[in-house]
Amino acid sequence: MVTHAFSVDLEDWFQGIDMPVDAWPSQPDRLDHGLDVLLGLLDDAEVLATFFVLGWVAEHRPDIVRRLASAGHEIGSHGECHEKLYDLDRDRFRASEADVKARLEDLSGVAVRGFRAPFFSLTLDSLWACDVLPELGYQYDCSISPVVTWRYGIEGAPEGLFRLENGLLEFTVSTWSLAGRRLGSGGAYLRLFPQILTRRPFVRGDRSGESAMFYVHPWEFDPDHPNVQMERKARFTHYQNLRVTAKRTARLLSRHRFGTIGTTIKEAERSDTIPRVSLDALKVREA
Ligand SMILES: [Zn+2]
């Protein structure tokens, strides 16, 4: 049975919205509320996950990184302050990401090999990140979404785990289709659509032997976190149906095999099933 990837973007509720960084320190810290629920579910299912930790969280809550690493979970990076890659440039990203990686390795005591950009913001406007990540020592990236939204996505991007010509592994958001539209299988999609639909990539993967990607955030397990004003489309995906996250995650964990992204990569390498994709193939819809 194939192992699917269970990934967590480790950030507090106010970091998953477009709130300016200087407002963060005055917000109520709710990270433990959702994280405790999520870790309870993972413990019950005896599943290890990959946690993409925000650099800001690692700085302010180093105890959490140590706790996750000592429990055996894989630690990856979610960037410094939740800035979208397409709002940065190559040099600023390289400098801040080198710091985050060093901080996470210091706290966890292990090499950090994986990265996920905030808001899946590796798009056609920030493909330079695919060059910078291996320079920093990253082996894999999980920042590309073949699902296109107002905030992220690369139309027509290949799906699943593949290797770019520079050696960087990409593991994208897993998708399913409804009325010709591609949709995702974690986060808001898990909460907004019936689970019979969002489970499709995992059911498909169990048949084909290819891992699918699940992702979720601690604040999605904390329905009582503060409700703040924001534009309507962001508000809907952030707050809608938070009370179903735990139940649906537990159900998913009980029906499919999950593990860290590192585990899914090892399995795919062993079976020699990782396709090669050129960066140009990602730009296919640009013309
Ligand atoms: Zn995030």
Q: What total number of domains does the chain contain?
A: 1
Backbone φ and ψ for 182, nearest 5 degrees, come out as: -85, 135
Q: Which of 53-57, 126-130, 146-150, 262-266 has the lowest mean pLDDT?
A: 146-150
Checking if the pLDDT of 244 tops 90, the result is: yes
Write the CB contacts of 122 (distance below 8 Å, at least 6 apart in sequence).
85, 129, 130, 141, 143, 144, 154
Res 285: pLDDT:
57
Name the band, by pLDDT with cuts 50, 70 and 90, for residue 161. very high
Residue 83 lies in a domain: yes
| Residue 174 domain boundaries | 4-282
Mean pLDDT of 25-48: 97
Task: List pLDDT tens digits, range 84-127.
Answer: 999 999 999 999 999 999 999 999 999 999 999 999 999 999 99
Give distance in angstroms: CA of 12 to centre of ligand 1. Answer: 9
Residue 287 lies in a domain: no
- Between 173 and 282, the more confident residue is 173
Residue 97 lies in a domain: yes
Task: List pLDDT tens digits, range 62-87.
Answer: 999 999 999 999 999 999 999 999 99
Res 232: pLDDT:
80
Checking if the pLDDT of 284 tops 80, the result is: no
Give distance in angstroms: CA of 177 to centre of ligand 1. Answer: 24
Give distance in angstroms: CA of 34 to centre of ligand 1. Answer: 14
Q: What is the largest CA-CA distance in the chain?
A: 49
Give distance in angstroms: CA of 252 to centre of ligand 1. Answer: 21
Give distance in angstroms: CA of 82 to centre of ligand 1. Answer: 6
Res 287: pLDDT:
44
Q: Which helix (H) or strand (E) holds 259?
A: strand 258-259
Res 7: pLDDT:
98
Residue 176 lies in a domain: yes
**CATH number for the domain that contains residue 31:** 3.20.20.370
Res 196: pLDDT:
96
Write the CB contacts of 210 (distance below 8 Å, at least 6 apart in sequence).
2, 160, 161, 204, 268, 273
Checking if the pLDDT of 230 tops 60, the result is: yes
Give distance in angstroms: CA of 207 to centre of ligand 1. Answer: 31
For the chain, the average pLDDT equals 94
Percent of the chain with pLDDT over 90: 87
Residue 133 lies in a domain: yes
Task: List pLDDT tens digits, range 186-202.
Answer: 999 999 999 999 999 99
Q: How are the residues of the chain apportioned to helix, strand and coil, as percentages rounded to the nearest 5?
A: 45, 15, 40
Residue 143 lies in a domain: yes
Give distance in angstroms: CA of 206 to centre of ligand 1. Answer: 28
Name the band, by pLDDT with cuts 50, 70 and 90, for residue 235. confident
Give distance in angstroms: CA of 270 to centre of ligand 1. Answer: 31
What is the spatial distance between Cα 263 and Cα 36, in angstroms, rounded to a whole number? 23
Residue 149 lies in a domain: yes
Give distance in angstroms: CA of 6 to centre of ligand 1. Answer: 15
Give distance in angstroms: CA of 57 to centre of ligand 1. Answer: 11
Residue 132 lies in a domain: yes
Give distance in angstroms: CA of 272 to centre of ligand 1. Answer: 31
Checking if the pLDDT of 226 tops 50, the result is: yes
